[in-house]
Homo-oligomer: A and B are copies of this chain.
């Protein structure tokens, strides 16, 4: 049972790589795993810390770029000069990202979460401006931190 579970879990990590036509390597497996284990989004720095000294910094940069290109992860804009990345849930593919979910930034724990809540704000742009893509960033207090605050 435990073995079967482990096989499944391994497969779950390998699948996205093979599906996207990527060769399976140590760093790709490890980094993908980190994303899968993680509730929040990860910055390059986060990954470097979590992966330990296992991989060269350059490899992490290149892996993230590859994952972005292939539609395995998406970038989340921030105002702190540290772009975060998170797994794509939707049907993203090479050169094609389409997310309609909110990104929530907790001002207490500093984590960033993808919330699967669709939003299509009524955009009344000035004439001439053509919208292609909308990103909604919400800052506030996340579920866990709210609970902690309530208890205190």
Contacts and interface: CB of A to CB of B under 8 A. Distances in A.
A130 B140 CA distance: 5
Copies of this chain, complex-wide, total: 2
Contact count band on A: 35 or more
A64 to B, nearest CB: 12
Contact of A133 (B122, B130, B131, B138): B138
A102 interface: yes
Contact of A129 (B82, B124, B133, B146): B146
Contacts of A121: 119-122, 136
A89 interface: no
Interface of A: 75-83, 102, 104, 107, 115, 117, 119-144, 146-147
